[in-house]
Amino acid sequence: MALLGAIEGGGTKFVLAVCDEDMKIVDRQSIPTEDGEKTLDAVIAYFDQFEDIKAMGIAMFGPIDINPESKTYGRVLDTPKRGWSGYDFMGRMKAWRDIPYYWTTDVNGAAWAEYKTGAVKENQSMVYLTIGTGVGAGIINRGHFLAGYGHPEAGHIMIQKHPKDDYKGHCPFHQDHCLEGLASGPAMAERWGMTAKELPDDHIAWEIEADYLAQAAVDFTVILRPDKIIFGGGVPHRENLLPMVRKAFADKFRNYLATPDFEDYIVPVSTGDNAGIIGCFYLAQAKLAEEE
């Protein structure tokens, strides 16, 4: 039986999985993220159990080099994560087994799952924005990821600070000037002394968070004109947040351009906690078809 492999590489854990030709998950396992070499030892030990893997999708925390023409393609770039800067991830995987690999960012993996199985219709464009430990975006236009010199780092777009927010920011590069520095899960926890899960619905935190996410939505709208903006990650799990984002978006955008109805335009993720793995399976399938 032909199998496809998936690796979702996160800062705290790696999710490894195998599916059959019908996209049914055959096996799934999580391992803790250690340094590059130790983590890949565990990854390879897991996939050694499966001889019939024909292709693999890898969605990895970044920044990573996804440019096939680059000398550092397949490597993790400079990162504060110990033991990962410069690590040759793809070199290690290809040395293990020479099969087709689709190498991309963690947020792109989840975005592709939403594109293939979620609320986005074929040939539409979308921005998938994840708000969690970090902030990132996967941008898909007519079936292709948007990337140039490298993958987007949309978590670091500049944001105007809310007048009620005196937080100094969580980002070591941009402090209180970028989206990740002000709106990520760690930023919320450090600012308020409570995690997003612990904050009550009527806390001022949600007004401020909605303001920052609405600013991002306005930026993506005027630059990219997507068919949908999808919010995923741990922070948007709070049900009261997206209605507040839509309202703040309307206040800021002021009907400048035509958009779909806000209820259909700014939406939550629909693919759940397996989004990254599902996306990796579909990317592996596409890579296999491309090389056959």
| pLDDT one-digit tens code per residue, 254-268 | 999 999 999 999 999
Alpha-carbon gap, residue 2 to 284, rounded angstroms:
12
Count CA atoms within 13 Å of residue 24 on its CB side: 6
- Window from 138-142, 144-148, 186-190, 211-215 with minimum mean pLDDT: 144-148
Identify which of 25, 22, 58 has the alpha carbon closest to the alpha carbon of residue 40: 58
* Pairing verdict, β 135-141 and 144-145: antiparallel
| Topology, domain 119-269 | Nucleotidyltransferase; domain 5 (3.30.420)
pLDDT at 238: 92
Q: Which CATH number fits domain 3-106: 3.30.559.10, 3.60.15.10, 3.40.50.300, 3.30.420.40?
A: 3.30.420.40
- The pLDDT of residue 29 is above 90: yes
pLDDT at 80: 78
Reported pTM: 0.91
* Cβ proximity of 89 and 79 under 8 Å: no
CATH 3.30.420.40 maps onto the chain at 3-106, 119-269
Is 278 in a helix, a strand, or coil? Answer: helix
- The pLDDT of residue 270 is above 80: yes
- The pLDDT of residue 141 is above 90: yes
Q: CA dist 236 to 90, 161, 226, 281, Å?
A: 32, 20, 20, 25
- The pLDDT of residue 121 is above 90: no
| pLDDT-above-70 percentage for the chain | 100
Strand partners, 64: 76
- The pLDDT of residue 139 is above 90: yes
Is 231 in a helix, a strand, or coil? Answer: strand
